[in-house]
Amino acid sequence: MTEKEKQQAGELYNGNDRQLTAERIAAKKLCAEYNAIPYNDFQKKDRLLDRLIALRGEKTWIEANFFCDYGYNIVMGNNFYANHNLVILDCAEVVFGDNVFIGPNCGFYTAGHPEDFVTRNQGLEYAKPIKVGSNVWIGGNVCVMPGVTIGDNTVIGAGSVVTSDIPSGVVAAGNPCKVIRPVKEGEAPAPSAPAESVEEKAEQPVEKKTVQIKKREIRIEEIKK
């Protein structure tokens, strides 16, 4: 297997592999170009995102600055909005549903490193996919860790570190992020730190959803022009 095949299979791989390094360079050049586009040049931003992101729906908007590792592992549904300084380390798939709103300074990190320093120092790492459902609101300064699934209709409070799956239809916050209460119907709850007086809702298993996508790989030759 190539290092890229190991990466996509969730196995340990060498992140310094020549192919993977070249693809990261290509993606980061596109990110730099995107971040330098004048704010009101909407068509140019759209064209560049089409070159960078594997698949995206209608009404996709990402505020500068935006950074990712490869781009071809990212899928965004309709009506996606991300505020400034979105970071997606897409060594594995990162899939967003429809109507996802993300606050500033948020990170989605599929990349992980072995706890054993001998293995880690060899440059080996692994990646686990992240999935975010539809109608999800993520507050500012949230970190989503490898392998996490966030269910539909859920709010993640600002400053949270999401280390495990979060079910649908809840407000969750904290480090580590935990369920606070169900989302109130007919109300748009603001993300906040958990209050001591609020009883935590028992977490329900999250239904894992597999999204089949046709990935668009970055054409490195095109970037070099």
Minimum mean pLDDT range among 43-52, 81-90, 127-136, 213-222: 213-222
Q: How much is the mean pLDDT over the chain?
A: 88
Spell out the residues 6+ positions from residue 78 whose beta carbon is closer than 8 angstroms to its own. Answer: 57, 58, 59, 60, 98, 99
Contact 13, 3 (CB under 8 A): yes
The pLDDT assigned to 200 comes to: 41
**3-185 placed in CATH 1.20.120.140:** no
Residue percentage of the chain with pLDDT more than 90: 81
Side-chain-side CA neighbours of residue 123 (13 Å): 7
* Helical H segments across 40-195, by residue range: 42-52, 117-120
Averaged pLDDT for residues 114-133 = 96
Averaged pLDDT for residues 27-46 = 97
Q: Which two tokens stand for residue 118?
A: 């001998």
Minimum mean pLDDT range among 76-80, 151-155, 197-201, 216-220: 197-201
Q: Give the confidence band of 186 by pLDDT, cuts at 50, 70, 90.
A: confident
pLDDT above 50 (res 125) = yes
List the end-to-end C-alpha distance of the chain, in Å, as a whole number: 30
Contact 207, 151 (CB under 8 A): yes
pLDDT digits (tens, 9 = 90+) for 78-111: 999 999 999 999 999 999 999 999 999 999 999 9
Place of tokens 């599929």: 110
pLDDT digits (tens, 9 = 90+) for 144-158: 999 999 999 999 999
The Cα 131–Cα 186 span in angstroms is 25
Q: Give the confidence band of 187 by pLDDT, cuts at 50, 70, 90.
A: low
- Cβ atoms within 10 Å, residue 123: 12
Q: What are 76's strand-pairing partners?
A: 56
Helix, coil or strand: residue 128: coil
Averaged pLDDT for residues 44-62 = 96
Which 8-state DSSP code applies to residue 182? Answer: E
The pLDDT assigned to 185 comes to: 79
Which 8-state DSSP code applies to residue 104? Answer: S
pTM of the model: 0.83
The pLDDT assigned to 218 comes to: 43
Residues catalogued as catalytic: 113
Task: Tell me whether strands 60-62 and 178-182 are parallel, antiparallel or unpaired.
Answer: unpaired
